[in-house]
Amino acid sequence: MEQANRLFFKLYQCANMLHKTGTRAVEAEGLTTQQWAVLGALSRPQVERGMSVGALAEYLLVSRQNLSGLLSRMERDGHVKSAPDGEDRRSRLVTMTASGRRLWKSRALPKIHTYYSRALDGFSDADVTHALHYLLKLLENMKRLDDGGAR
Amino acid sequence: MEQANRLFFKLYQCANMLHKTGTRAVEAEGLTTQQWAVLGALSRPQVERGMSVGALAEYLLVSRQNLSGLLSRMERDGHVKSAPDGEDRRSRLVTMTASGRRLWKSRALPKIHTYYSRALDGFSDADVTHALHYLLKLLENMKRLDDGGAR
DNA sequence: GGGATTGGGTCAATATATTGACGTGACATA
DNA sequence: TATGTCACGTCAATATATTGACCCAATCCC
């Protein structure tokens, strides 16, 4: 139980440091870790036409209201735009703008890769895979807790 | 590199879910995960006389200004109090109140332990230790990044 | 067609989090 | 003693995050 306590405390500290150091890594681009997560989601090859707000919120595991504010700041900064979906006119599809895509690929991604290699200094490929596995498992459990509480 | 990206994305998701599900676990006590971290820090046996604001901020890895707000909300709710340190009168020592200690031990801790066991469902003791090890290592790297950026 | 659901915008309250800046009193040292 | 440093409180701006509530339009389903 003491180990469990330490684990969650370290997770709490890691979360804060991720936002602090991660945001610092891309602050010259005017981005934050959250915005970087959004751009990362939208830049995936399987996302051709864009993502609806609901799908994006579900993917990032954040609330719709939170994402709404995030997206409006990113729209204000010209990184993303949203347009009504032709197929389901309730939906608005969020996509990266040309300048957002340029910023992401040419300026943000290189810095993010540098950040990854520094933050994972001393991690072997196997270490990364194992750590990822534990986080995935933990996340599954917490998702289940979340669903259970909502019932 | 793709694995690294997934790792940090899962860390980001885990952080959000930790606050969401963790706060829900103790919301009946009027606590949040952050306040639970503060109470956890103050309840350690080696903290006899209390902790100064600076030491607490350093321990939790949060900014002084953030902690200040957190502490004033907790003081408002009667969970902690702060008094000038006799030895260094610049310092104010933060301690748990009697009611805060009661709340922590009799109501919060049991719920937190239930939360731990649910969130770690399927984790062996060795899994917890390994996961903790990775988070510790990651945290060290991010701390170094943080110091480096401040120079 | 009509009722229920879905997707989303919005307002509000609240709590976390950062950085930067300024002031004040206490302490340490040259 | 004078200077500098330290611990803290505070104000401000900004960005994230939650929940709950309400509304509207589009879609789905019976």
Report d(CA A7, CA B130) in Å as an integer: 10
Task: Note which residues in 76-105 of chain B have CB less than 8 A from chain A.
Answer: none
Q: Residue A48: its pLDDT value, please?
A: 85
Q: Report the alpha-carbon distance of residue B56 to residue B34 in Å, rounded.
A: 12
Is the pLDDT reported for residue B150 higher than 60? no
CA of A95 to C1' of D24 (A): 24
Q: How would residue B85 be classed by pLDDT, with cut points 50, 70 and 90?
A: confident
The nucleotides of chain D lying under 7 Å from a protein CB are 6-13, 15-21, 25-28
Is residue A126 a contact partner of residue B149, using CB atoms and an 8 Å limit?
Answer: no
Q: What is the mean pLDDT of residues B57-78?
A: 95
Q: Do A17 and B146 touch (CB under 8 A)?
A: yes
Instruction: List the Cα angle B134/A25/A69 in 5-degree steps.
Output: 100
| C16 closest protein residue (CA to C1') | B66
Count of C-beta atoms within a 10 Å radius of residue A65: 9
Mark yes or no for CB contact A7/B125 under 8 Å: no
Residue B109 touches chain A, beta carbons under 8 Å: no
- Gap from A122 CA to C29 C1', Å: 42
User: How many helices and strands in chain B, by DSSP H and E?
Assistant: 7, 3
Greater model confidence, A48 or B121: B121
Q: Which portions of chain A are predicted below pLDDT 70? A: 149-151
Closest partner CB to A116 (pick from B4, B17, B24): B4
pLDDT (mean) for B128-140: 96
Distance A90 CA to C11 C1' (A): 21
pTM: 0.91
What's the CA angle centered on A94, arms A89 and A96, to 5 degrees?
145
Beta-carbon separation of B127 and A134 below 8 A: yes
Q: Which strand C nucleotides have any atom less than 7 A from protein CB atoms?
A: 6-13, 15-21, 25-27
**C-alpha of B54 from chain center:** 15
| Averaged pLDDT score across all residues of chain A | 93
Reduced 3-state DSSP string for A73-125: HHHHCCCEEEEECCCCCCCEEEEECHHHHHHHHHHHHHHHHHHHHHHCCCCCH
**At residue B108, what is the residue type?**
A
Residue B83 sits at φ, ψ, to 5 deg, of -140, 150
Query: Measuring CA to CA, how many Å separate B124 from each of A126, A134, B120?
Result: 19, 11, 8
Give me the sign of the Cα torsion angle B101, A12, A150, A62. positive
